[in-house]
Every structure is written in C-alpha cells, then in structure tokens.
C-alpha cells in the first residue's frame, strides 16, 4: 500500500517543480496568452463594435464556426507602406547597431583594460543615464538638436557654421537617438566578454610575430564574437520596433514600423491590421533571435567540454 502511495507521489510534481514553474507561468500569462490573442485578432476584421473587431470563433446552431480571415496579411504585402516601413525599420536598426558596435567596441575594450577601481566607476557612468526616464532623455535630445538648440548655438558661437544644421526631424536625429539610447546594451555584453580575455594569448601572439593590430584581428576579435553577437542582438531587436525615438526626433519621412503600428491601433482603430503588423514583425525578429541563441548554445557547449 505504502509502495503504491510512494510511486504515485513520485509521479506527482514535487516541490522543486513549483520553483521551476514560476518563470513558465510568468511566460504563459504575459507572453504566450497576449501573443495568442494578438494572433487571433490578426485573423479577424475591423468592425465598429466593442472590442472593434469581428469574432474569429462563434457558435452557430450548436457547432463552432471558424472565421479565419487572411486578408490583413495580404493587405500588408500589397500595400507598399507596410513593406517600406518594415524595410526602413530594419535598415535603421541595422545601421544603428553597426554604429553602436563601432562606438561601443573601443569603449568596452578600454574599460576592460582599465584597473579594477576606475573600471567600476566608468561602468557606473555607462549605466547611470538609464536611471532617469527614457522619455526625458529623448526629450533632452530635442533641446540639443533643434535649430536653436544647444548644438547649433555652440557651433555658431564657435564660428564653425553660419546657419543652424537641420538635424532635428531627420533620420540623422533618429540615428543619434537610437545609438545614444542603446549604446549601454552594446557596451555591457562586450565588456563582460573582453574583460575575460586572457592577456597571455595576446603575449603569445606577439611572441609568435603578430603585430598588435594583427593580434587584435586574429585573437581578440574572434574571441569576442559572442559578445559582439549578444550586444548586436540587444540593440537590433528593440531598435526595429522602436517607437518613441522616431516619433519624437524623426520627421514625417522617417518611416518605422513602430509608428505604423501606433497609427493603425490608435488613429485608425484597426486592431486586426495592427495585430497582423506586430505578428509579422515578430516573425522577422525571430531570425536574429535564433542566430543569437544558436551562437550562445555553441559557446556553452565549448565551455562544457
């Protein structure tokens, strides 16, 4: 009898299961279910109702009726607005990521080579701006970039330019904003990677005849690949869907999918199309996320051996 009880208990989830389940429940509630709802809405049609779309499932004469409507997705493909918005979002995100990498790599490298006391202070300075509101920091950039803003005033006062540079409401302002906002996300993983680099490897390379820049290309750069990928993903993925920065710093010609999404949802009240836009965006971002995971898994694997 007790043997039977024991074997039943063994098959039931144990206490450790309760601990493990917390993140899964969190994922289910705040990620999987909302996503499923968005996915469902993307197959319905806009309607003047509450909520503003037609139901996908309904009961007619005692059996379930499924009204799948792929029109929203076809609409996205046929209307060049959406395709252009996607392409331009990806372009802006990719260029911003490369800029972040170009600026962030030397910074992370320099921080990793500092002595530990100053290193922590500098790392703190990198993270410090994130302690104020994102919105306020982007607002501050308006003050810097606008025609009679800080930057133009300083440059005109110094006599570098005669008339103000038109940066505000251009793609350049969007790039400045994105690079500024996401730079810490590039620096931190790169730093974490570069600080672990065994300096004796560079000595060995130098000893074997590699000049410093060659040692960097052959040793440091390949060994920091995981940091480069991690940093790039952390910048690229949120930058594609970025809404606040293009809205506040960009002009009418900066087309980004985040803004389109906002307009569909709030201005046009077309929830199904808005849902379809976000589902497609998610699918597009799946590729870089998968690359990221694969590289991480590969790195873990090589460490385990």
Partner 1 sequence: MNQQSSEKNAVSNSSASATQDGYLVIENVRKLFDDFVAVDNVSLNIRKGEIFALLGASGCGKSTLLRMLAGFEKPSAGRIILDGQVLNNIAPYDQSVNMMFQSYALFPHMTVEQNVAFGPKQKNMPKAEVARRVEEMLALVQMESMAKRKPHQLSGGQQQRVALARAVATSPKLLLLDEPMAALDKKLRSQMQIELVNIVERLNVTCIMVTHDQEEAMTMAHRVAVMDAGKIRQIGTPDEIYEQPSCRYTAGFIGSVNMFEGKVEEDEKDYVTIRTPDLDTPIYVGHGITGYDGMNAAFAIRPEKVHISKEQPEQKYNKVQGVIEEIAYFGSHSVYHVRLASGAKVLCNFVNMRRWDSENYTWNDKVWLSWDDSAGVVLTS
Task: Provide the binding-site residues for partner 1, judged by CB under 8 A.
Answer: 198, 200-201, 203-212, 214, 218-219, 222-223, 302, 305
Shortest gap between Cβ of 301 and partner 1 (angstroms)? 11
Nearer to partner 1, 172 or 201 (CB): 201
Q: In the complex, what is the shortest distance from the CB of residue 217 to partner 1, in angstroms, rounded to a whole number?
A: 12
Q: Between residues 172 and 223, which has the closer beta carbon with respect to partner 1? A: 223
CB 161 within 8 A of CB 152: yes
How far apart CA 51 and CA 154 sit, in angstroms, is 52
At residue 46, the 3 state secondary structure works out as strand
**28 or 300: whose CB is closer to partner 1?**
300
Q: Supply the minimum distance, in Å, between the C-beta of residue 121 and partner 1.
A: 24
User: Which distant-in-sequence residues (6+ apart) come within 8 Å of 41 by Cβ?
Assistant: 53, 56, 271, 272, 275
Q: How far is the CB of 201 from partner 1 (least distance, A)?
A: 5
Q: Which is nearer to partner 1, 209 or 252 (CB)?
A: 209
Q: Which helix (H) or strand (E) holds 64?
A: strand 63-66
Residue 109 beta carbon to partner 1: minimum distance, rounded to whole angstroms:
18
The CB-of-229 to partner 1 minimum distance in angstroms stands at 14
- List the one residue out of 146, 168, 166 whose CA is nearest residue 249: 168
Q: Which runs of consecutive H residues, i.e. helices, occur in the chain? A: 2-11, 15-27, 33-41, 71-78, 80-113, 116-127, 134-145, 150-157, 171-194, 199-207, 212-215, 221-223, 225-240, 244-249, 257-262, 271-304
**Closest CB to partner 1 among 63 and 200?**
200
Q: How far is the CB of 227 from partner 1 (least distance, A)?
A: 13
> To the nearest 10°, the Cα dihedral for 239, 245, 250, 256?
40
Question: What is the dihedral angle through the alpha carbons of 103, 292, 299, 185, rounded to the nearest 10 degrees?
Answer: 30
* Choice between 201 and 282, CB closer to partner 1: 201
For partner 1, give the closer residue by CB, 140 or 210: 210
Which two structure tokens, joined as six digits, stand for 28? 């289910």
Count of all residues that appear for the chain in the document: 305
């Amino acid at each position: 009898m007790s043997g039977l009880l024991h074997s039943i208990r063994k098959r039931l989830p144990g206490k450790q299961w309760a601990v493990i389940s917390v993140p899964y429940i969190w994922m289910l509630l705040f990620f999987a279910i909302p996503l499923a709802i968005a996915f469902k809405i993307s197959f319905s049609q806009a309607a003047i109702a509450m909520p503003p779309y037609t139901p996908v499932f309904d009961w007619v004469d005692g059996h379930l009726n499924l009204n799948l409507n792929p029109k929203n997705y076809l609409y996205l493909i046929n209307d060049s607005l959406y395709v252009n918005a996607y392409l331009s979002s990806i372009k802006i995100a990719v260029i911003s990521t490369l800029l972040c990498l170009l600026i962030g790599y030397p910074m992370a490298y320099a921080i990793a080579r500092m002595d530990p006391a100053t290193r922590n202070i500098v790392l703190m300075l990198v993270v410090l701006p994130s302690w104020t509101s994102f919105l306020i920091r982007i607002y501050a950039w308006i003050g810097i970039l606008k025609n009679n803003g800080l930057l133009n005033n300083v440059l005109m006062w110094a006599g570098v330019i005669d008339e103000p540079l038109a940066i505000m409401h251009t793609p350049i302002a969007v790039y400045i904003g994105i690079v500024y906002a996401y730079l810490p996300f590039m620096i931190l993983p790169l730093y974490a990677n570069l600080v672990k680099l065994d300096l004796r490897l560079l000595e060995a390379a130098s000893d074997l005849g590699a000049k410093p820049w060659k040692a960097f290309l052959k040793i440091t750069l390949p060994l920091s690949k995981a940091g480069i990928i991690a940093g790039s993903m952390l910048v690229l993925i949120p930058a594609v869907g970025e809404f606040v920065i293009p809205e506040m710093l960009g002009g009418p010609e900066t087309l980004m999918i985040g803004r389109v999404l906002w307009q569909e949802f709030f201005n046009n009240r077309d929830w199904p199309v808005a849902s379809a836009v976000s589902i497609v965006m998610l699918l597009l971002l799946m590729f870089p996320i998968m690359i990221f995971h694969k590289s991480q898994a590969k790195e873990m694997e090589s460490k385990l051996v």
